[in-house]
């Protein structure tokens, strides 16, 4: 029996491509059309059977879609609103996938005041980009934030929530302003902290780069997200300045308080701050995916001797487990075990732990 669903995509990058693949998996008989600036990407999506029609400009294939996903950068999405207007039927829900919401909501209200818009933000991603790295399960078990526009009625919101659930994600409905504040706090500001901590170490490092050489797990964990795409983060900063600056002001105030307590040797107060932070951090559950990509790392107690890495790698490869990164740890201040192994997912790490423990290795894991 045909589902009859029709969906349109503006851009087939990592997120757009992943959502299109997910739709095709869940709704095999859906009609999916896509606009993309690269014909090569459209050809690949057509060859994969993900889309039924590809175009370099808005055309009649977008008429009366059930959902149209704006998956390009915000400015580009906004530039397509006028061209999309004639094709938006009464049953069409226009949505986007951006990490900042107020800007796109304001643009839609100005250019498409009578249309139904529901902002969307799948809280998932990858260090890689583009259609070639998209996946039909990228948003599985991830929060998918929904921000209804002023014309979105309960029936529209329920339709969108139902779609998100069928795609395997966890819908969470918020106002655009609350979304932008939350993502500024849990994603945008942490990225600014990571970028600037790296800048601090680079500035203060010795000519011999001793700081870089001995950087251990603590530094690497907190700065991992500083490897994110600089162009994307420049855009996010310019799209969400009010929320980010307000939260950065609070954070700077907390740093100043900590600095003053250290200078005054106020150990008791420092311990109280650290305990409160530790308790809150320990209460953060690890179920759904979040805006900051998790890492799956374990450490092994091995002797630093020739062949140690090769033996472990052989054990893991014999079970078909893919390793993201592996190497000897030279700084043991914040790490247990001499061999550090990073995996692509939790399941691979769990299987590796079981295999290596069976061989007598002592394991320490962290996500």
| Alpha helix ranges (H) inside 167-286 | 176-183, 189-204, 210-214, 217-223, 230-239, 241-263, 267-282
Percent with pLDDT over 70 in the chain:
90
277 and 327 together in one domain: no
Which DSSP string do the residues of 289-305 spell out, in sequence order? B-SS---EEEEE-----
Retrieve residue 282's tokens: 């320990």
> What was the pLDDT predicted at 332?
45
168 and 222 together in one domain: no
- The domain boundary, picked from 132, 154, 174, lies at 174
> 290 lies in a domain?
no
106 and 144 together in one domain: yes
| Cβ atoms of residues 144 and 121 within 8 Å | yes
> What was the pLDDT predicted at 285?
65
Looking at residue 320, which CATH number applies to its domain?
3.30.70.260
Looking at residue 64, which CATH number applies to its domain?
3.40.50.720
Looking at residue 190, which CATH number applies to its domain?
1.10.3660.10
60 and 41 together in one domain: yes
Report the domain count for the chain. Answer: 3
30 and 169 together in one domain: yes
Burial 319-342 (b: 16+ CB within 10 A, else e): eebeeeeeeebeeeeebbbbbbbe
> 288 lies in a domain?
no
- The domain boundary, picked from 250, 282, 314, lies at 282
Which tens digits make up the pLDDT trace of 169-224? Answer: 999 999 999 999 999 999 899 999 999 999 999 999 999 988 888 876 678 778 88
10 and 142 together in one domain: yes
245 and 159 together in one domain: no
Positive or negative, the CA dihedral 175, 177, 180, 184 is negative
Strand 363-366 with 6-10, pairing: unpaired
Q: How far apart are CA 205 and CA 68, in angstroms?
A: 49
Q: How far apart are the first and last CA of the chain?
A: 43
> What was the pLDDT predicted at 314?
85
Which tens digits make up the pLDDT trace of 17-52? Answer: 999 999 999 999 999 999 999 999 999 999 999 999
Domain of residue 251, residue span: 179-282
**pTM for the structure as a whole:** 0.75
- The domain boundary, picked from 141, 174, 207, lies at 174
Which tens digits make up the pLDDT trace of 155-172? Answer: 999 999 999 999 999 999
78 and 166 together in one domain: yes
Distances (CA, A) of 249 to 13, 99, 179: 34, 21, 19
Q: How far apart are CA 74 and CA 98, in angstroms?
A: 7
> 244 lies in a domain?
yes
32 and 167 together in one domain: yes
192: Cα separation from own chain's centroid:
15
Given a cut of 70, is residue 126 above it in pLDDT? no
> 258 lies in a domain?
yes
> 291 lies in a domain?
no
Q: How many residues does the chain have?
A: 367
268 and 159 together in one domain: no
CA Rg value for the chain? 24
16 and 94 together in one domain: yes
> 231 lies in a domain?
yes
73 and 110 together in one domain: yes
> 170 lies in a domain?
yes
> 287 lies in a domain?
no
């Amino acid at each position: 029996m045909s589902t009859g669903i029709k969906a349109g995509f503006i851009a087939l990058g990592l997120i757009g491509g992943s959502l299109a693949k997910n739709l095709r998996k869940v709704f095999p008989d859906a009609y999916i059309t896509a606009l993309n600036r690269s014909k090569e990407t459209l050809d690949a999506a057509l060859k994969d059977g993900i889309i039924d029609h590809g175009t370099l400009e808005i055309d009649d294939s977008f008429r009366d879609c059930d959902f149209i996903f704006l998956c390009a950068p915000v400015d580009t999405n906004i530039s397509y609103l006028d061209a999309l207007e004639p094709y938006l039927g009464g049953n069409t829900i226009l949505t986007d996938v951006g990490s900042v919401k107020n800007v796109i909501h304001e643009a839609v209200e100005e250019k498409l005041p009578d249309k139904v818009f529901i902002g969307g933000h799948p809280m998932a991603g990858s260090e890689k980009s583009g259609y070639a790295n998209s996946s039909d399960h990228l948003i599985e078990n991830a929060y998918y934030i929904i921000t209804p526009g002023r014309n979105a009625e309960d029936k529209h919101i329920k339709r969108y929530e139902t779609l998100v659930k069928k795609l395997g994600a966890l819908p969470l409905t918020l106002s655009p302003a609350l979304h932008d504040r939350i993502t500024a706090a849990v994603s945008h500001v942490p990225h600014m902290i990571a970028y600037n901590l790296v800048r601090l170490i680079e500035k203060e490092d010795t000519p011999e780069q001793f700081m870089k050489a001995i950087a251990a797990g603590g530094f690497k964990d907190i700065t991992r997200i500083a490897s994110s795409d600089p162009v994307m983060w420049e855009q996010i900063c310019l799209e969400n300045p009010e929320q980010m600056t307000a939260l950065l002001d609070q954070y700077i105030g907390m740093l100043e308080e900590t600095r003053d307590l250290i200078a005054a040797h106020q150990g008791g107060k420092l311990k109280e701050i650290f305990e409160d932070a530790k308790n809150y951090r320990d209460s953060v559950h690890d179920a759904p995916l979040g805006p900051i990509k998790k890492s799956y790392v374990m450490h092994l107690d091995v002797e630093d001797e020739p062949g140690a890495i090769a033996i472990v790698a052989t054990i893991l490869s014999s079970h078909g487990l893919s390793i993201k990164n592996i190497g000897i740890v030279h700084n043991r201040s914040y790490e247990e075990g001499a061999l550090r192994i990073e995996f692509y997912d939790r399941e691979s790490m769990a299987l590796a732990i079981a295999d290596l423990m069976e061989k007598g290795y002592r394991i320490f894991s962290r996500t």
